[in-house]
Amino acid sequence: MNKCIWPLVLVLLVVQACSQSPWLSGTIKNTQNSEWQPKVYLIRPNSFKEVGQSFVGEILDSTNIISDGTFEFTGTPKLNEPTFLQVAVQKLGDRYPNRLLNENPQTDNYFPLLVDPDVPLVINASINRFQASFSIQDPSLVNKEILDLRNVRLAAYEKYKQSNAMKTALDEQLLDRERALLDYQLEILDFTDTFQEPISVLVAIKWASPEGDFERLPEALFKQAQKWSSIAPDDPWVQELVETADKSQLPMMLGDAIPNLILPTQTEDNISLHDFLTGKKLVVLDVWASWCAPCRVENRNILVPLWDTYHSKGFGILAYGLESNKTAWEKAIEKDGAFRWTHTSHLQGDQNPLMDALRLRTIPANFILDEKGKILAKNLHGAELEVFVDKYMGSH
């Protein structure tokens, strides 16, 4: 062979060897489990809304898991810069590689992470506990934040699952179950206060509510949008978050002033909310329905005793019913002993002007207002509502 060719051959061999080095590799245990495909998928969400969502992310690449559980993505990655991806595995019979489960963080089938094409990444997991067992060798800051977030989410989910409210299917326990869910969501979001990377926070928001329902935690969503819009205003995903957290699209928040709603009463007169507040120290605007079992329990067990204790001292209740049947509404008021306070309704069911004005979809709901209509608290029920009213009325 011509000696002049040798240096070129060596260079080609080196280039070829480098190009075959894995840029993403690792081990996925229990791949002999017959329930799972021996395959790893890389899925790229192209917007904030697509994070953690099934059937929408772009399937970027895939590779086989060999018999010892190892896998490699080699060659030139289809990435020009650090990119947010979701690594996923799928069960046998699943037709869609981009199906992402958000049913249980202990068994969900994907993990979100930031991949840098210039920095090889090594990951490990068990296939049947993919998200819960996922680990990264020498993770970057953003990936470490996501791993820490996963750990907090797992612990919060375990508390949520073990709460007494989750162990019963009684309708009367709906408020307790909702409180347990809210505690779980807030634990995830509160953990992000020290995060330095917006991607980690965006993952937390999607993990707190994969379906994107923030009706019960608009303050937490708005807080994150405000914070990151000042830190990373040009980030397109942050811009999408700001859009999602637009105050005009969210339920009214703590500190807001309630609008002066004009509501038809049970006696078919109209009442001004601001007029109703006049002369009162504290008012509960209670949104309920005669067909809502936990609402009825709240009437009898919480609101009646509070009214009897404090109404002569400046405490008021203004109820709004999601009703279409006046007879059923009035029977419920009488039976619950709720005739003590003022009742209003447009008798238009759950599609009504009050729900639109306050941007609500879910009941039971309430707003606790001072004499000027400022929202001091909201969606407090049971003992929480009793404690708040006792404390406020005792100090004013």
**pLDDT per residue as tens digits for the range 290-319:** 999 999 999 999 999 999 999 999 999 999
Residue-averaged pLDDT of the chain: 92
- 3-state SS track over 317-383: EEEEECCCCHHHHHHHHHHHCHHHCEEECCCCCCCCHHHHHHCCCCCCEEEEECCCCEEEEECCCHH
SS3 (DSSP) at 251: coil
What average pLDDT score do residues 217-235 get?
96
Q: Are strands 342-344 and 315-321 parallel, antiparallel or unpaired?
A: parallel
Q: Which residue from 87, 84, 144 is spatially nearest to 110, judged by alpha carbons?
A: 87
What average pLDDT score do residues 332-352 get?
97
What average pLDDT score do residues 357-380 get?
96
DSSP assignment of 161-172 equals HHSGGGG---GG
Q: What is the pLDDT of residue 3?
A: 52
* Structure confidence at residue 5 as a pLDDT band (50, 70, 90): low
- Predicted model pTM: 0.88
For residue 119, CA distances in Å to 24, 276, 311, 356 come to 9, 64, 67, 50
DSSP state of 173: G
Q: In what order do the strands lie in the sheet with 342-344?
A: 342-344, 315-321, 282-288, 365-369, 375-378
SS3 (DSSP) at 123: strand
Q: What is the pLDDT of residue 171?
A: 61
**What is the C-alpha to C-alpha distance for residues 364 and 71, in angstroms, rounded to an integer?**
50
120-124, 138-142, 173-177, 198-202: the lowest-pLDDT one? 173-177
* Structural domains in the chain, sorted by start: 19-138 (2.60.40), 155-249 (no CATH), 262-395 (3.40.30.10)
Tokens 């953690």, residue? 52
State yes or no: pLDDT of 176 exceeds 90: no
State yes or no: pLDDT of 15 exceeds 50: no
**What is the C-alpha to C-alpha distance for residues 351 and 17, in angstroms, rounded to an integer?**
65
Q: Judge whether 218 and 185 are in contact, CB under 8 Å.
A: no
At 118-170, the pLDDT tens digits run 999 999 999 999 999 999 999 999 999 999 999 999 999 999 988 866 666 56
State yes or no: pLDDT of 4 exceeds 70: no
What average pLDDT score do residues 39-60 get?
96
Helix ranges (DSSP H) in the chain: 5-19, 130-133, 141-162, 174-190, 198-208, 218-231, 236-244, 273-277, 293-298, 304-310, 326-336, 353-358, 382-395
Tokens 């926070």, residue? 201
Q: What is the pLDDT of residue 197?
A: 95
Q: Judge whether 201 and 228 are in contact, CB under 8 Å.
A: yes
CB proximity list for 42: less than 8 A, separation 6 or greater: 24, 59, 60, 61, 62, 73, 85, 86, 87, 88
For residue 91, CA distances in Å to 65, 71, 72, 130, 260 come to 13, 17, 20, 12, 54
For residue 218, CA distances in Å to 160, 215, 370, 376, 378 come to 20, 6, 21, 15, 11
**Long-range contacts, stretch 153-157, CB < 8 angstroms, 24+ apart:** 153/105, 153/188, 153/207, 154/105, 154/106, 156/183, 156/184, 156/187, 156/188, 157/104, 157/105, 157/106, 157/184
